[in-house]
Chains A and B, each alone.
Chain A
Amino acid sequence: MKKKLVMIGNGMAGVRTIEELLKLQPDGYEITIFGNEPHPNYNRIMLSTVLQGDKSIEDIIMNDWDWYKNNGIKLYTGEAVVGIDNQKKQLLSDQGRLVDYDELIIATGSSSFILPVPGSDKQGVVGFRDIHDCEMMIKDSRKYKKAAVIGGGLLGLEAARGLLNLGMEVNVVHLMPHLMERQLDETASGMLKKELENQGMNFLLEKQTAEILGDERVTGLRFSDGSEIQADLVVMAVGIRPNVQLAKDSGIYVNRGIVVNDYMETDMPNIYAVGECAEHREIVYGLVAPLYEQGKVLAANLAGIPANPYEGTICGTQLKVSGCDLFSAGEIGDDEGTKSIKVHNEFDGIYKKIVIRDNRIAGIVLYGDTKDSNRLFRMLTKREDISGMTSVSILEANGCCGGGEAGDVAAMADDELVCGCNGVTKGTIVDAIRTNELTTVDEVGGCTNAGRSCGRCKSLISDILAYTLGDQYDTSVKKAGICGCTTLSKDEIVAEIREKGLTNVREVMNVLGWSQEEGCSKCRPAINYYLGMINFDGYKDERDSRLVNEKMHANIQKDGTYSVVPRMYGGVTTAADLKKIAEVAEKYDVPLVKMTGGQRIGLFGVNKEDLPAMWEDLGMPSGYAYGKTLRTVKTCVGEKFCRFGTQDSMGLGIELEKKFERLDTPHKVKMGVSACPRNCAESGIKDIGFVGVDGGWEIYIGGNGGTDLRAADLLDTVKTKEEAMEITGAYLQYYRETAAYLERTAPWLERMGLEHVKEVLADESMRKQLNERLDKTLERYNEPWQEAISDNGIKEKYYKVRNVTVE
């Protein structure tokens, strides 16, 4: 019979131990895991990226439910263990469950340390430790504006950056005179503070929080010097506290953490501890790399395989805040026994300090340029003797080990860790590159998980690729193609299409040597677009190469239903059309009828097979709410009704929408027309916007109200509607011809430069040529909904769902 292994805790360190154990001994144990949180195992160090909006919670799940199932692991989530009976070898959960064990791992992790000041139990005071904290901050940011983060360390600053991204005003309160004082010296800390202030953070240094103010919910902080600030949300990021109560109650020896030996054994037989709850040689670790090393040792111990003892880890730290490149490890201060090498380039914002003790690197601080962090960190952990090296060769990779980056990698032992987050060694990566013929950093990540957590090791992975592949690497990787099927860039593909006169997607892929014969979901829509843009005179669109929404002429929803949004030119409709929309919504039992953000009515949750019939009943053109094309032209009511309006905004809006609808563009395009500078149509954040002024129109371009908000730039002022139409045509066509597929006008304009675009559009003959090509292109479009209604082939191919019944 298999032995029973039970683990209390479902976090990163514990689950990593189980993963290692499964590798060593897949069938050795019957495994049961108890997790306090309701989720499967997720990557806690990536919580800051969730808070900062770069990733969703789903993205950071490391082992999903299937993983537990596939490995035969019994998982109890949302259930806490409340007692351990060491005599009977039994556990008791808070739901009254009794579970036997032969071996028991305690991996209960740690909790945020909440300062014991009056008011710390008020609503709106959170730690920054788990998904729940993260969700609460995101929720609160929608309602409240002022946040205070207590703690100017790594976690506090990452939380503060996240809160800024969520639109809050952020005060960071720190007890010490410098930020991240455990990782950075005064100079680096000062540089970091300046950068973060530029990003919008406000710092209150040398402030000790004395009280959290408010009734039920927090309203502010009072400091020991009597001063106060307002705050509706207080994030405590002052440290972590190992979760040891259960171990303590069970009679296991606990100091700060659960005390373990070099094999992760506690003082009680058959009970082990790993991760942030464990104390090894008087150290409790709060970073992931050491916890993974512990997990490896414990897994070997449980599998009965002799392994090297765990002897502790020196930790390197980096801050996951964009715009702040910093790395720190080991000793950062100076004393009588140390010497240091420093480089401080104030012009470029670069600072490097290497602390040396007994001819060995004892500490590293890098700010602004961290590319040497891996190499220096390795010299530190290997305790390399540097007495023969000059200060320049220590700081510059090319002088070191006689061979630059590749030589540096060559000197690494196979079992040396490259990705600390995921415990991947150089040997594993080299093997994966050779066995699976990998050529990119992403592919290495796909095969080995290296580089997929914090990403710090990506440059080292790239060096390992260069070292393993030799010359092949330079040619295949440094140039990134538009997708994995090709190494050609967008410009090269467009040039080849023009030069070779290519006319269809398949031909492009054949002639240009695509690695995947029929391409992928990235290159096919792009090629289809480029072909259509170049062959403006009668290109035959390839519907099956379109992104799903464009292929179906409706937006797909996550349950496979679609939405229907009819065209409503300039946001203007009639009572008759409104009635028709209402009747259709009723007839097809549409679950949601909603005004969209672009001034029209959307019918959501429509069954795919109902789409053509609904379009027929509506008898209206498609609003292209799904397309990389002109979506809407938002208008105000303008001179016809408004007492301030100086121009006919609805008239221009409708004319623009009628002329440019259906046009394929690299990404979606939105327009706005306001009749006066009060700007009710928000024309200043549209791809192209018009603002009526006395005697004419101001034209704005490159605005974006999307993820990256960008105010539009003034392009020109014109007198007539005709001029406005002509400039719009030229602008759209120039964007169509020069942007990469899926590049919106805002980044496009920044790439091209406003002055350049102004110059092009100021040239009358250029405007004329652009408009000619555009007008030719516009001729080829048909109304897609009408087409589907009248073509049974289309209905059959795209909208039919069959049922088969078997008797």
Chain B
Amino acid sequence: MQETMVRIKLADYDSLPVGAGQAITVNGENIVLFRISNGDVKAVENRSPHRKGGTLADALVSGKFIYCPVYDLKISLEDGKVQAPDTGEVKTYHVEVIENEVYITI
């Protein structure tokens, strides 16, 4: 079991498209990165919080929110919370961009 958090390089910032998620598997953990319109990169686990499951990579992105592509839940990229009236949550990850390189702490 991993106890300490590690910082992992994921991708070049420039290679991340705006407006579409990028699915990444890091040591078996499914994560999706979003480079949003203000330039920030956000990362959440690649799993729809809907009880039927699904993925988030192809979500529609609107500012700091995404809409789950399978069930249309509105999810905040800031804290991973599903917006009312639906409920649920996905894991979020700490992302840093250092000199064109995107790092995640996991």
Contact = CB atoms under 8 A, between A and B. Distances in A.
Contacts of A548: 58-60, 69-70
B52 A558 contact: yes
B63 A524 contact: no
B12 to A, nearest CB: 11
A558 B84 CA distance: 22
Contacts of A806: 6, 8, 26-27
A517 B62 CA distance: 8
Interface string B10-27: 110001010110111111
Interface in A546-585: 547-548, 551-552, 556, 558-560
Contact of A518 (B15, B20, B57, B63): B63
B37 to A, nearest CB: 7
B53 interface: yes
B42 to A, nearest CB: 14
B58 A551 contact: yes
B23 A544 contact: no
Interface in B40-77: 46, 51-55, 57-63, 65, 67, 69-70, 72, 74
A796 interface: yes
Count chain A CB atoms within 10 A of each CB in B17, B20, B27, B58 and give the residue with the most: B58
B85 interface: yes
A58 B59 CA distance: 22
Given A516-B63, A520-B74, A521-B67, A803 B58 contact: no
Q: Chain B contact residues: over half helix, strand or loop, or mixed?
A: loop
A384 interface: no
Interface stretch (A230-238, A343-351, A440-448, A704-712): A440-448
A726 B57 CA distance: 42
Contact of B8 (A442, A447, A552, A804): A804
Nearest to B66: A521
Given A446-B84, A801-B23, A802-B11, A545 B60 contact: yes
Contacts of B61: 518, 544
A442 B53 contact: no
Given A516-B62, A520-B67, A558-B70, A58 B51 contact: yes
Interface string A62-78: 00101000000000000
Contacts of B22: 800, 802
B10 A66 contact: no
Contacts of A520: 60, 62, 65, 67, 74
B25 A802 contact: yes
B20 A447 contact: no
Interface in A57-97: 58, 61, 64, 66
A801 B25 contact: yes
A447 B54 CA distance: 26
B6 to A, nearest CB: 7
A269 B58 CA distance: 57
B60 A559 contact: no
A643 interface: no
A101 B24 CA distance: 48
Interface string A427-457: 0000000000000001001110000100000
Nearest to A436: B84
A520 to B, nearest CB: 6
A797 B20 contact: yes
Contacts of A560: 46, 54-55, 57
A544 B62 CA distance: 10
B60 A521 contact: yes
B10 A524 contact: no
A804 B10 contact: yes
A303 B17 CA distance: 54
Contacts of B25: 801-804
A64 B8 CA distance: 34
Contacts of A521: 60, 62, 67, 72, 74
B95 to A, nearest CB: 13
Contacts of A552: 58
A2 B58 CA distance: 46
A93 B27 CA distance: 42
Interface in A514-530: 516-521, 524
Interface in A332-376: none
Contacts of B19: 544
Interface string A43-65: 00000000000000010010010
A326 B57 CA distance: 47
A798 interface: yes
A765 interface: no
A805 interface: yes
A800 B17 CA distance: 11
Given A517-B63, A520-B67, A805 B58 contact: no
A755 to B, nearest CB: 37
Contact of B85 (A452, A517, A524, A551): A452
B54 to A, nearest CB: 5
Nearest to B84: A446
Contacts of B9: 804
Interface in B87-105: 87-88
Contacts of B15: 796
Nearest to B10: A804
B69 to A, nearest CB: 4
B85 A446 contact: yes
A524 B26 contact: no
A552 B62 CA distance: 18
Contacts of A544: 19-20, 60-61
Contacts of B85: 442, 445-446, 452
B22 to A, nearest CB: 7
A518 B51 contact: no
Contacts of A804: 8-10, 24-27
Contacts of B70: 548, 556, 558
Given A61-B51, A560-B57, 11 more contacts: A442-B85, A447-B84, A518-B62, A520-B74, A560-B46, A560-B54, A797-B17, A800-B22, A801-B24, A802-B22, A806-B27
10 contacts: A446-B85, A516-B62, A518-B61, A544-B60, A547-B60, A558-B52, A798-B20, A802-B25, A806-B8, A806-B27
Interface of A: 58, 61, 64, 66, 442, 445-447, 452, 516-521, 524, 544-545, 547-548, 551-552, 556, 558-560, 608, 796-798, 800-806
The 8 residue pairs across chains A and B that have the minimum distance between CB atoms: A560-B55, A446-B85, A548-B69, A446-B84, A521-B67, A544-B19, A518-B62, A797-B17
